[in-house]
Amino acid sequence: MLTTLIAFAVALGILITFHEFGHYWVARRCGVRVLRFSVGFGPVLAKRTDRHGTEWAISAIPLGGYVKMQDEPDPERGERGIAEAFQSQSVYRRIAIVAAGPLFNLILAVALYAGLNMAGTREPAAVIGPPPVGTPAYAAGLNAGDRIIGINHVAIQSWGQLRWEIMQRMSEGGTAEIETESSGIKRTRVITLPQVLDPPKDDPMKAADLSLNTKKPLINSVVNGGAAQAAGLRAGDLIVAIPGLRDPTIKDVIDYIQRHPGVSVELTIERDQSRIPVVVVPQSEQSDAGQPVGRIGVRLGAEIEQTLVRYGPLESIWNGVVKTWDTAWFSVRMMGRMIMGEVSVKNISGPVTIADYAGQTARIGLAAYIGFLALVSVSLGVLNLLPIPMLDGGHLLYYLIEIVKGSPPSQQWIAIGQRAGAGLLAGLMVLALFNDLTRLFT
């Protein structure tokens, strides 16, 4: 819990502060006076004032930050007090200042993705398991052990990249050209992909009948007092054979153990490059259906081929731009489909779910946490650009109306828009919290 709270606070602090820094940086270059830049909210813990008159503060609640500008002209400071006011700026400068916050979030995402690309990350290789008989993947001629190296001429290096490209293609449905490599031979297959309108709900890889090629089942841990411990099995052992089957999958091992409660089972394991026969007697336990099933008390994983995904500096930056654009556009499409009723609003997540993902990725490692920061930074940028009053996009909408009309909207209409925007955002927050709590308790 503590890790989750710290990871969540750090994420919000970084993303919101960077957002506000975008407003600050462009405002200063447009000649607007910035009164305060605060990292955090609430009581000020420390502060200093720079030569431009901006107060830099660190506040007690580390959940973001804010920028306070001189909004209205200050005649008491003479012409300078008028020129430095936000409202004194041209509409195009005001657009630049307001748009800078969301754009800085997108720039941050590009930088984070580029950093991951340059540092390199180890990911599961895009090697597929056997497609089920009768599926489009099977009909296309895909086989177990095929390494997918491209989809529609987009190069694929890892399973994560493959999943993203499949999800992108499935949002529209239709066919896709799959480039594979096996035993040094390259082939191109054409596979028919179903249209998946709700990717967060429907796993795109399962819908495409593609699974990760797992090798030997690996014992990750052994439960104290269980049958496996009694038989001498250890964490790190690879199960290479069960009666009647060599090179079994995790599912093969689990199914066989469950079918033999209380019966001696001989497993062949690989330990320290040696193969050892081990006899284990699965303990009989009752399943949810009331039937006896065998358990030996281990947690199984799988030995999966890994690949190092790394790019040069220029390619890393370009890939960061592409990934940020693809993620942002995908988010906009999903929002549009929610409005049309094609995608469930249950996919809207709130602070509880975001905090949970922050904690999970922080526990996995730095690379996973940085990827999480990049994803949320894109989401924050896209959300703030929506034309909803109270958000940056709402202010941009007012400025566009001002350009078209030649004058700003009336204060009456602005007030109505602000109330409508506040109501809409409150409703979205309630829905997001409801979804969070539903996921938490179910």
- As annotated, the active-site residues are 20
Sign of CA dihedral 101, 105, 107, 112: positive
Instruction: Using alpha carbons, list the distances in angstroms from residue 382 to 102, 335, 340.
Output: 7, 10, 19
Tell which residue, 61, 67, 13, 17, has the closest CA to residue 37.
67
Give the C-alpha separation, 282 to 335, whole Å.
Answer: 50
Sign of CA dihedral 239, 241, 246, 248: negative
Burial class, 59, CB count within 10 angstroms (exposed 0-12 / middle 13-18 / buried 19+): buried
Inter-residue contact 386 to 421 (CB < 8 Å): no
Q: Could you tell me which residues come within 8 angstroms of residue 385 by beta carbon, excluding any fewer than 6 positions away? A: 99, 102, 391, 392, 393, 396
Tell which residue, 268, 275, 263, 272, has the closest CA to residue 227.
263
Give the C-alpha separation, 31 to 97, whole Å.
Answer: 11
For residue 67, the SS3 value is strand
Place of tokens 């905090």: 355
For residue 358, the SS3 value is helix
Tell which residue, 70, 82, 80, has the closest CA to residue 36.
70
Cα 276–chain centre separation:
42
Q: Check residue 296 and report its DSSP letter.
A: -
Cα 185–chain centre separation:
34
Give the C-alpha separation, 208 to 201, whole Å.
Answer: 14
Give the C-alpha separation, 96 to 248, whole Å.
Answer: 60
Place of tokens 């503060």: 57
